[in-house]
Amino acid sequence: MSSKWTMLVYMAGDNNLESYGQSDLEEMQKVGSDKNVNVIVQFDTEENKTTRYRVLRGQLETLQEMPGVDCGDPEVLTNFLKWGMTNYPADHYLVNVWNHGGGWENLPEGFNYDSIRAATPEKGAKLKRVKRSVFRTTAKNISALPDDARAIAVDCGSQDYLDNQELRKAFQNALPGGGKFDIFACDACLMNNFEIAYEMRNTANLMVGSEETEPGAGWPYDAILGELIAKPTVSPEELAKLIVVEYGKFYRKKGENATQSALDLNNIDPVVKSIDSMSSILLNNLDNMKDGIALARDYSQKFSYPEYIDLADFVDLLSKKVSGSADLKSATHNLLSANSRFIIENAVVGSAVEQAKGASIFFPPDGKIPPEYLDLLLSKDGNKWSQFLMRYFVTRRTI
C-alpha cells in the first residue's frame, strides 16, 4: 500500500558535516514517519559506514548497513532512489540532497579533501577558492579540471563529488521514461542557482534550496515534518512552500541571515526565453549599454560567492541603469514577469540578503568564465547569456 509521501534524504556525511547530520536525524526523530509519510535516510559517514534508516518518532529503524559508499558516484544516488521508491512507494516523492553546496561549479585540480574533513563546518562552507558543483565525479576526472572549478556533497573518503551532469543523470536513471520527482531539494549552500534549475528542469517539478550559504543547522526538520504529518494530503506545491516558510520562521527566531526559495521548474522556459531575448539586446548594444550593465551588476544582490548575483534584482536594476531603450525595457519587464511565476515562494532573513528574490545567476566580477560553464545545458542549448558574458568582458577590457 502506498503512503502519501516518501521523503528520500541522501545524506553525504563523509566530511566535516557529519555531526550536523546526526543533529538533523535527531530533529527528524522528534516527529518520525507514520502510515502516510515515510522519512528514509541514507547516511554515509567518516567511519567508512553507510546506513539506511526509516526515521520513527524517538528512534531510527535500521533498514540496511553497508560499507561506506561513494556519494559522488551517480549510480549510488540512483540506486538509493530506486531502492527507496520500491520499498516505500508513495503518491509523491521529495528527494533531499544533503551536504556542502556551492552552485554549478566543480572542484579544482588537486583539491585537498582533508581541508574539508579537518575544517569546522562554518569554515568548510567558505574555504578559500573551494569551488562547487552538485557532487563528485571521480578522482581521475577531478584531476583534469581547471583551477577555477567547484561542488556539493563532497565525499572525503572517496575523494569525489557529483557534478551537475551526474546529478541530472542520476535522477533521470532513477525515473526512466521521462518521469519526474515531485520535489528536488537541497539542504546545502548556494544551490538555488538558475543554471542548476535549468539543468534539473526535466527531473523534477519543483526545486527547493538556498541562494546563499545555509547556516550550519540547515533545515528545521521537526517543524517541516510536523506540518507534513499533520496534513499528509498537501500537494507538492504546498509542501515546497511550507518548507520555505518554516525555514524562514526558524532563522528569524535565531536572528541569522538566511535565504530559501521554491521554484516551479515547469515554469522555467519563459524565463529562459526572456533571458535569451534580453541577452540578444545587450549583445547588440554593448558599446552603449556597458556602463549601465556594470552598475546593475555592481549594485545587485550578491552572495558568499560574489560571482552569483540575484537574477531578478540584476534585471530590475538593469532596467533603471540603462535608459533610452524601449526594447530593453520591454525585455526586462517580460523577464521579471516570467520570473514571478517561476519563484513560487521566497524567504529572506537579514539585511545582508534583503534583495534576494529566489534564484541567482552566474555573472563573475573578474570575467573568469570556466570552460565547464559552456558544458551546462543552459549554454549548450544556445541561450545567449553565456555569449553575453564573454563579449561583455572583452568589451570592458577595451575601455
Q: Where in the chain is the domain with CATH 3.40.50.11970?
A: 3-103+162-266
Question: What does the pLDDT read at residue 394?
Answer: 85
Location of C-alpha cell 512507494: 89
User: Is residue 336 predicted with pLDDT exceeding 60?
Assistant: yes
User: Is residue 88 predicted with pLDDT exceeding 70?
Assistant: yes
**pLDDT-based confidence at residue 147 (cuts at 50, 70, 90):** very low
Average pLDDT, the chain: 86
CA distance 73 to 10: 12
User: Is residue 324 predicted with pLDDT exceeding 90?
Assistant: no
CATH number of 3-103+162-266: 3.40.50.11970
What mean pLDDT comes out for the span 199-214? 96
> Which helix H or strand E contains 178, and what residues bound it?
none
Question: What does the pLDDT read at residue 114?
Answer: 46
CA distance 208 to 186: 6
Contact assessment for residue 44 and residue 25, using Cβ atoms and an 8 Å cutoff: no
pLDDT tens per residue, range 8-30: 999 886 555 677 788 999 999 99
User: Is residue 46 predicted with pLDDT exceeding 90?
Assistant: no
What mean pLDDT comes out for the span 204-222? 95
What mean pLDDT comes out for the span 155-160? 44
The answer to pTM > 0.85 is: yes
pLDDT tens per residue, range 242-260: 999 999 999 999 999 999 9
- What percentage of the chain carries pLDDT values higher than 90? 70
